[in-house]
Each structure stands twice: as structure tokens, then as C-alpha cells.
Amino acid sequence: MLYECYGGGTAFVLPPLPTMPQPSDVSQVLLSVGSLVGREVDLDAFLQTLVDRIAITMQADRGTLWLLDPARGELFSRAAHLPEVSQIRVKLGQGVAGHVAQAGESVNVPEPRGERLFFADIDRMTGYRTTSLLAVPLRDTEGAIYGVLQVLNKRGAERFTEEDIERLTVIAGQVGTALQSTSLYQELKRAKDQPQAPVGYFFNRIIGESPQLKSIYRLVQKAAPTDATVLLRGESGCGKELFARAIHVNGPRRDKPFVKVDCAALPATLIENELFGHEKGAYTGADHRVPGKFEAADSGTVFIDELGELPLPVQGKLLRVLQDREFERVGGTQTVKVDVRIVAATNRDLMKMVSEGKFREDLYYRIKVVEMVLPPLRERGGEDIERLARHFVATAAKRHRLETPRLSAAALERLKTYRWPGNVRELENCVESAVVLCEGEILEEHLPLPTVDRGAPAPATGSTEPTVSANPAGLLPLAEVERHHILRVLESVKGNRTAAAKVLEIGRNTLARKLKEYGFADEA
């Protein structure tokens, strides 16, 4: 079977190829892209760059990365030199790639004509003439095959050699290991257990295929290659920082600093100093010049989180940076020029703040050159929640050196029906807690979620209007959900505040402040 299948975005060109590696220099194949594996890159662009460099190293005319779709018993080309078609799918056992995936053995075809394994329909469809072919399996750390790496037409020779087989096998081992650190690998595993939802992904570490999220992906793909200022809006915990990093990593400043400033974590009196730095003698204790975040991020990106917490006097200085790319340090008179891109995020209603005089109108319109409104998790649907949950189960198990537990049907249904006031961050922490506390299978009882009274009585017959309770039975305010989860995490790490702060992905001082609000004394 052979047909086209249109997949995810392929919008970006990653960094230019370095000096071409020599064929024997296998260790260099992944070095130039290895740093991208753990970042929010466009996966199609990443994989295509990887295949380009493998083809160069193997002195091959073309390369293809095939991935296994276990639910359909097929291989699909995810990254390939296929200008003629968008994607090719073959059945397991069909053609050389299908045979390699099924039998788990390398295949070297010096002359395809007359070779029983060669699937000539692909050449007929593309118009390309294959003269030699080498394919090896991709395996995960458990030895399971999840793809095939293939190169076509040895340059300057009639066939690939035994040395080429060994070289490509070593490369496949590197690639197989590297891809397991991406969200693509978790998506392939998820698709194995959930065949009704096809494999889908756009950016590494950003999980979701809902229509709302796909519209954000398209905006990121358009905005990232530019230097346009971006404003990310959305509820707390919906992934604003991940998207900010995706904008940076997929843009022209990807190799320059990405510097974050969390306005909510800093006292108002220190935010100006944090952003712009200070001169020696600016205030008591300022015994030397200290550069701020804008200087530290020169040529890169400054991510201003919780923009709505920025004090009015500092808003004016930020407006000047946006307009003129210049400022003065605190206590200084010398103008500092910077070349930075600004990405900001907020969960506040900035337009309302403008009408209340709490946010500058000119800054509001200047900073929303490109505006992205991220959807809350409850609006993204059950499939996205399942994708995220399975990804977080695997990630938490790996982090805590545990066997990956099963996710029971009851627990999964509970996750899908919960409203998630804390969004993706709450789901991640909930799943991590369950992974730590369960014994081989995550049951509903392992989920640290508030109990909801599902048997609440219906309104009395004859009511002209539905009765809406201000606080329905069993539902907790967001602050109480946060308190419950923080204490649960603290208990799971036996009171170690440093470990708890790491699990919660907040600063230790922030955790200490929250615990003090809950009535816990500071540590001695």
C-alpha cells in the first residue's frame, strides 16, 4: 500500500550545516543537533536536519527515517529526501524498510533490480531511480524496534560496503537513544496503546493535537523566525513558558541566551534592578556595577513572565527598550544599547488593567505585536489530556528511576473528567504524585484530586431556572487545590523542602512563603 499522508509543520530551517564530517567520523553526526533534543524544537525540522547529516556522513544521495505505527502495522516516513511526495507508508514486511522493521536485521541491496525485497512502486511514484540501498533497524533501550534508518545510492561507488553497514548501525544506535529523549518517542508509545488517535506532534516537549493548540502551533511557526515581540496570554499552568522557549529555539536567536524574568517572584522594588542592572553607588550596598537581564540576554531573548505584575514606573523603561532598544542602569546616566527579542506572558486581563490605570496603554499596544492566547487544559479535550498524562507517567517514572506503571481505565477517566483549574502544571504534578505512590498500576485512589460529589440531587421538578450553587459540593477553590497538592508533595519527599520545590518547579523561597501562609514555621 502506498499513499500520501500530510503530517505536522515543517516550517523552520535549523542551524546551517557545520563543516562536513568525514564518513568515518560517526561521533560527529549528532553533536551539532544533540543540544536540541531536550528543547522545544520543531521536531520535523530537527529530524530532517538529522537525516541530512546522516546522508552526508554515509556519502549517500538520500536518507529516510521511517517510524513504526504499531496500531496500523505500518511504517511511515517521518523525515526523508522526498521532494516528490509528502509522506510514504508501507506495510510491515513490505519492501526493504518493512522487512527490516519486521525481521530486525540490516539489509544491504547493491542492485535493487530483481531483488525480491525491493518495493519498486516507490521509485515509480517518485520518478527516482534507486541504484543501491542500505537499511538498519532503530531500537530503544529495551531492544524493541520502533523505526528504520535508510540511505540510498552510495556516491562515488556502486554499492554500500560492510564498513558502511557497521557505520550506519552505530549511527542508528545513537539516533535510537537520542529520539527516546523527545516527546515523539512517548507519542509513538502512546499510539500503540491508543490506536484510535493517530500519531501527532509538532514541537518537542509540547504535547497536544487539539484544534486550539494547532492554531497556536501555526502562530509559533510564523512568529518564531522573526524578531517580532510576542505576548502570551493564558491561565497559570497552561504552558506559557514552554511556548516562549519554542519561539526562541525555533528562531534566528536560538544559539543566544534565553533569559527569564519572573515579575511575580520579585518585590516591586527589585524588578527594575533585575531588568536593567545598577551602577556602583546607586544605593547602599551597591559597591560595584551589576548588569541586568537585558544586558545578559544581548543578541538573545528576554522572557518577561507575569508581565501584569510590572510596576508602572518600570513599564515606562520597558516601553523605551521596545521602541529604541536602549535604557540606563539604576543610578546611571550612560545609555546602554541592547539587541534583544522580548517575549512576555501574563494571566492578567491587561486591557482591564489599562482601563483601571494599572497598565500603560502605549506599552500594551506595543508589546502585543503578536498575541497568542493559550487554551486552558479543560478546553483541549480528553485526547490531549490522555496524551499528556501518558507522557507525564513515562517522564516521572524515568526521573524517579521506577518501572513505568500502567494507567488504569478508571484513573484515566477521572483525569479526563476533572476540570483542571491548575491546567497542565496541575496535571503533571498530579500524575507524578500517582507514579511515586502507586504499585505497578495507577488507580483512581492514587490521584491527589479533590473528591467530587457526583450524586448531587438534581433541581426540583418545576423550577423555572436552574439552581446554581456558589460553591458546589466537593469543589475546591484553586488556592485550596494548590495547598492540598503542595502538602502532598512535601509529604511524599518526607518534608525535604528543597526536593519539594524541585518537584513543584518553583523557587525554594516561593515554597517557604506559601508554607508560611499555611501556618508552617520556617525551618531552623
Residue 201 lies in a domain: no
Separation of alpha carbons 325 and 498, rounded Å: 38
Helix or strand run (H / E) with residue 153:
strand 145-154
Helix or strand run (H / E) with residue 346:
strand 341-346
Q: Write down the pLDDT at residue 497.
A: 86
- Local confidence band at 148 (pLDDT 50, 70, 90 cut-offs): very high
Q: State whether 365 and 222 are in the same domain.
A: yes
Residue 13 lies in a domain: no
Residues of the chain with pLDDT > 70: what percent? 81
- Local confidence band at 378 (pLDDT 50, 70, 90 cut-offs): very high
Helix or strand run (H / E) with residue 135:
strand 133-139
Residue 457: pLDDT above 70?
no
Query: 411: domain CATH number?
Result: 1.10.8.60
Residue 37: pLDDT above 70?
no
Residue 112: pLDDT above 50?
yes
Q: State whether 384 and 446 are in the same domain.
A: yes
Q: What is the pLDDT of residues 476-514, one digit of tens each?
A: 677 777 887 888 788 777 788 888 888 888 888 788 888
Residue 107: pLDDT above 50?
yes
Residue with cell 526521573: 399
Q: State whether 57 and 134 are in the same domain.
A: yes
Separation of alpha carbons 353 and 359, rounded Å: 5
Cell numbers linked to 204: 518537542
Please give the residue that has the higher pLDDT: either 522 or 524.
522
Q: Write down the pLDDT at residue 466.
A: 40
Sequence letter at residue 64:
T
- Local confidence band at 168 (pLDDT 50, 70, 90 cut-offs): very high
Residue 459 lies in a domain: no
Q: Write down the pLDDT at residue 431.
A: 96
- Local confidence band at 437 (pLDDT 50, 70, 90 cut-offs): very high
Q: State whether 225 and 271 are in the same domain.
A: yes
Residue 338: pLDDT above 60?
yes
In 3-state terms the chain splits into helix, strand, coil percentages (rounded to 5) of: 40, 15, 45
Rg (CA), the chain: 27
Q: State whether 188 and 331 are in the same domain.
A: no
> Among residues 322, 350, 373, which one ends one of the domains?
373
Q: State whether 219 and 180 are in the same domain.
A: no
Please give the residue that has the higher pLDDT: either 435 or 509.
435
Query: 54: domain CATH number?
Result: 3.30.450.40
Separation of alpha carbons 380 and 372, rounded Å: 16
Q: What is the pLDDT of residues 292-322, one digit of tens each?
A: 999 999 999 999 999 999 999 999 999 999 9
- Give the 3-state DSSP-derived string for 10-79, with helices as H, strands as E and coil as C: CCCCCCCCCCCCCCCCHHHCCHHHHCCCCCCCEHHHHHHHHHHHHHHHCCEEEEEEEEEECCCCEEEEEE
Residue 31 lies in a domain: yes
Separation of alpha carbons 310 and 305, rounded Å: 10
84-93, 218-227, 236-245: segment of lowest average pLDDT: 84-93
192-201, 221-230, 339-348: segment of lowest average pLDDT: 192-201
Residue 384 lies in a domain: yes
69-78, 139-148, 277-286, 455-464: segment of lowest average pLDDT: 455-464
Residues 66/146, Cβ–Cβ less than 8 Å: no
Q: State whether 172 and 315 are in the same domain.
A: no
Q: State whether 352 and 262 are in the same domain.
A: yes
Q: Write down the pLDDT at residue 476.
A: 63
- Local confidence band at 352 (pLDDT 50, 70, 90 cut-offs): very high
> β-strands 370-373, 230-233: how paired?
parallel
Q: Write down the pLDDT at residue 393.
A: 92
Residues 112/124, Cβ–Cβ less than 8 Å: no
Q: Write down the pLDDT at residue 180.
A: 82
Query: 356: domain CATH number?
Result: 3.40.50.300
CA angle 318, 320, 325 (to 5 degrees): 100
Residue-number span of the structural domain to which 426 is assigned: 378-453+475-517
Q: State whether 433 and 447 are in the same domain.
A: yes
Residue 3: pLDDT above 60?
no
- Local confidence band at 454 (pLDDT 50, 70, 90 cut-offs): very low
How many separate domains does the chain show? Answer: 3
Q: Write down the pLDDT at residue 268.
A: 79
**495 DSSP 8-state letter:** T
Residue 4 lies in a domain: no
Residue 85: pLDDT above 50?
yes
Residues 85/79, Cβ–Cβ less than 8 Å: no
Residue-averaged pLDDT of the chain = 81
Residue 78: pLDDT above 80?
no
Interaxial angle between packed helices 478-492 and 423-437, expressed in degrees from 0 to 180 and rounded to the nearest 10: 30
Q: State whether 423 and 403 are in the same domain.
A: yes
Residue 282: pLDDT above 60?
yes
Q: State whether 155 and 227 are in the same domain.
A: no
Average pLDDT, integer, range 216-242? 93
Residue with cell 530483481: 114
- Local confidence band at 185 (pLDDT 50, 70, 90 cut-offs): confident
Please give the residue that has the higher pLDDT: either 280 or 31.
280
Q: State whether 338 and 406 are in the same domain.
A: no
Residue 90 lies in a domain: yes
Residue 407 lies in a domain: yes
> Among residues 159, 193, 227, which one ends one of the domains?
193
Q: Write down the pLDDT at residue 163.
A: 93
- Local confidence band at 410 (pLDDT 50, 70, 90 cut-offs): very high
